[in-house]
Structure 1
Amino acid sequence: MSVTAASGFAAAGVAAGLKSTGKRDLAIVQNLGPLTAAATVFTTNRCKANPVLWSEQVMSDGVVSAIVLNSGGANCYTGSQGFQTTHATAEAVAERLGVSAGDVIVCSTGLIGDQLDLGKLTAGVRDAAAAIASGDAGSDDAGLAAAEAIMTTDTRAKQAAHVSPAGWTVGGMAKGAGMLAPGLATMLVVITTDAVLDSEQLDTALRRATRVTFDRLDSDGCMSTNDTVSLLASGTSGVVADLDEFTAALTAVCRSLAEQLQADAEGASHDIAIEVVNAFTEDEAVVVGRAVSRSNLFKAAIFGNDPNWGRVLAAVGTTDAVFDPYGIDVAINGVQVCTAGEPDQPRDLVDLAPRAVHVLIDLHAGDQTATILTNDLTHDYVHENSAYSS
């Protein structure tokens, strides 16, 4: 089910002592080959963490032999010492696995502004490499251990897989429960495949997949400094994948992971799908959906089980999308509460007791559609993020 679902990969997750809880906090995913092709999409936040700066250099040739990920610290805004820590971590992985440090992606997640303990990192790398060498690193248990090691405020590991009838597999893991907003990539995600594809093909497929999955997840409008989505291909299946079929499978895995991230968003009590239909362009459908998803008034109303559709229209009106302000329809959980900018069915018919909420916005301006995934704004979200570094 996880990052080890595809053949040709090994994984491990260990407790390196970076977290005060004593839980797993360092993971390694190794590509055993014969191919070491890769593609990665990084955050577009201009304030990038040291692991992102390092990994952008690694990806210059599209070759990746391993990925090392830690929770317990973002290694962002930690100066030259922080970059040296990232470099030294890659060197430690390279030495233990017998690969080049220039082919090791480094990912970190946690609090910004704190230095990571290099001694604990290198000891964790040693233990994870030993676990990989033990011979059981391709199992589901090993994949789960790696997925657990990258969790921060997550309450559960996120994993997904797809097996193609053609004979190849895609598997993946993700972490994220807050700061879920798009910038070509979201959170930390590692996806593997044993299909035969080169780095250029992987890049094409990954960008197509993230555009309609992770990029459509906007839990709280906050973009991280560390977001990284990586796709590795081992080629172990020996099957040359059809690119369109592979992209569809990859998109399904990414969508599953994105929905799992949405369902585990910090403090959320409702998972909201905002579907915008009949927009003039797809981009405008995204802009409208995102405007609603980032409306604290709307999100607070959903938390209070209040189907206040006026807040939906108010958010739509902040965009420059093409529409007639008095020609918009809105339905919430199947109840048509607004038609052509006027009240329709009584709002008290809307049942917001279930966790799942569906908002349908019809702009009547074209034939394009997009869906944005978000959550409500709760007391628990405010509490968790006000006490995050304490």
Structure 2
Amino acid sequence: MTGLGVTAPAGFRAGAATAGLKPSGRPDVALLVNDGPLDAVAAVFTANRARAHPVLWSEQVVRSGSARAVAVNAGNANCYTGPDGFLVTHRTAEHVAGLLGTADREVGGGDVVVCSTGIIGVPLDTATVLAGMSAAAADLGDDDAHALAAATAVMTTDTRAKQAVRTADGWTVGGMAKGAGMLAPGLATMLVHLTTDAVLDAAVLDAALRAATRVTFDRLDSDGCMSTNDTVTLMASGAGGVTPDQAAFTAVLTDLCHDLAMQLLSDAEGAEHDVAIRVVHAATEDDGVEVGRAIARSALFKTAIFGRDPNWGRILAAVGTTAAAFDPLEVDVSVNGVQVCRAGGPGEDRAGVDLSGREVTVLVDLHAGDAEATVWTNDLTHAYVHENSAYTT
């Protein structure tokens, strides 16, 4: 039976441990190991110019196109921690390499991707994280329980673990993700780790991953805040022995990434509504994304949805801040199937819009071309404000 997460594809093991980085005392360290025979890897990282030490390290690792493991700690982002912060990352990679290397399988620090998530600006204690990695390495397994343990250990403000798996024609893709805040990425969303047992090289993995993230994680804009640590990795073990068509692999990978992205959205801090903003008849896809993202980042729009008020004026106001091609007197807006704005003016009675459920669909028709794009967001609630005002205390 196919597993539930990163260990579902053949050739992967996962482990988790409690190092003591989380004040809650919950598991906070995870390891994902590729046992091969291939060690192909691709990754995309945050577009934030202020990138954490693990991102700077891992960018160098994946340039080779190969990696044997991903080491993750939660509870501390190891960002803005000075030169010692990079040294912790380097030592973590070297330590994990030493734990995994064998007489017939050499592993170096350059084979280990390192990821961290949690509080920014707090030094990460080397001894603590290395002890956690040792414990995780001692408990590696390829079953569902180990996959779930790893997916749980990487959580911070998440309320539940996020996993997904897809199978097709003799090969499998699995994944785990964490993230509930700072979901406004450039090429990635928080920490996402994907695995496949297909026989694929790094170049194919990279092309497929960028195509998948472009229309999934990169379209998730929960709160307009871009993380310093966002990372998405994709590793191929080749243990399944099957080489899929690149287009077919990309399609399956995209479907799995969409699944994980929607799990991230549904667990966004304090959210009561999941909002899909679909922009149609845009002059270009980029215009559609820009319009969707402007609406998603409007605090006025997001609070209106929280208040169950389909205030379409706030939507048009957000659209008007963009450089997209459109005539304001031709724009139509529908909310949950009710066309509340027609040709830049009042449409159907907005009292007919039902916002009592969790799912909300906003359709914006620009009447400017044939392109379209969808951006996903959520409402802005009292709970979000409380969560982020009390996060470090």
Query: TM-score under structure 1 normalisation?
Result: 0.98
Whole-Å separation in 1 of the counterparts to 2:349 and 2:387:
35
Partner of 1:231: 234
Partner of 1:126: 134
Whole-Å separation in 2 of the counterparts to 1:211 and 1:287:
13
SS of residue matched to 1:72: strand
Which among 117, 139, 163 is matched to residue 125 of structure 2? 117
Kindly indicate whether residue 152 of structure 2 is the aligned counterpart of residue 148 of structure 1.
Answer: yes
Q: Cα offset for 1:119?
A: 1.3
Kindly indicate whether residue 393 of structure 2 is the aligned counterpart of residue 385 of structure 1.
Answer: no
Which among 278, 281, 284 is matched to residue 278 of structure 1? 281
Partner of 1:37: 40
Gap runs ≥5 in structure 1: none
Kindly indicate whether residue 326 of structure 2 is the aligned counterpart of residue 326 of structure 1.
Answer: no
SS of residue matched to 2:387: helix
Partner of 1:91: 94
The ranges of structure 1 where at least 4 consecutive aligned residues each deviate by more than 4 angstroms after the TM superposition are none
Partner of 2:72: 69
Whole-Å separation in 2 of the counterparts to 1:183 and 1:78:
23
**1:80-229 maps to which residues of 2 (within 5 A)?**
80-98=83-101, 99-132=107-140, 137-164=141-168, 166-229=169-232
What letter is aligned with 1:144? L
SS of residue matched to 1:345: coil
Q: Cα offset for 1:382?
A: 0.6
Q: Cα offset for 1:241?
A: 1.2
Whole-Å separation in 2 of the counterparts to 1:152 and 1:344:
43
| Aligned-residue CA RMSD (Å) | 0.6
Kindly indicate whether residue 54 of structure 2 is the aligned counterpart of residue 51 of structure 1.
Answer: yes
Kindly indicate whether residue 367 of structure 2 is the aligned counterpart of residue 364 of structure 1.
Answer: yes
What letter is aligned with 2:154? I
Partner of 2:267: 264
Q: Cα offset for 1:123?
A: 1.0
Partner of 1:352: 355
Kindly indicate whether residue 294 of structure 2 is the aligned counterpart of residue 291 of structure 1.
Answer: yes
What letter is aligned with 1:105? V
Whole-Å separation in 2 of the counterparts to 1:260 and 1:163:
19
Whole-Å separation in 2 of the counterparts to 1:215 and 1:157:
20
Q: Cα offset for 1:344?
A: 1.3
Whole-Å separation in 2 of the counterparts to 1:100 and 1:210:
29
Whole-Å separation in 1 of the counterparts to 2:89 and 2:372:
41
Taking every aligned residue pair, what percent have the same amino acid on both sides? Answer: 64
Whole-Å separation in 2 of the counterparts to 1:13 and 1:248:
30
Q: Cα offset for 1:319?
A: 0.6
SS of residue matched to 1:61: coil
Whole-Å separation in 1 of the counterparts to 2:300 and 2:57:
39
- The count of residues paired between Structure 1 and Structure 2 equals 385
Q: Cα offset for 1:21?
A: 1.0
Which among 370, 373, 376 is matched to residue 373 of structure 1? 376
Whole-Å separation in 2 of the counterparts to 1:59 and 1:77:
22
SS of residue matched to 1:70: strand
Whole-Å separation in 1 of the counterparts to 2:350 and 2:218:
31
Whole-Å separation in 1 of the counterparts to 2:263 and 2:201:
29
Partner of 1:4: 7
Q: Cα offset for 1:182?
A: 1.8
Whole-Å separation in 2 of the counterparts to 1:186 and 1:167:
29
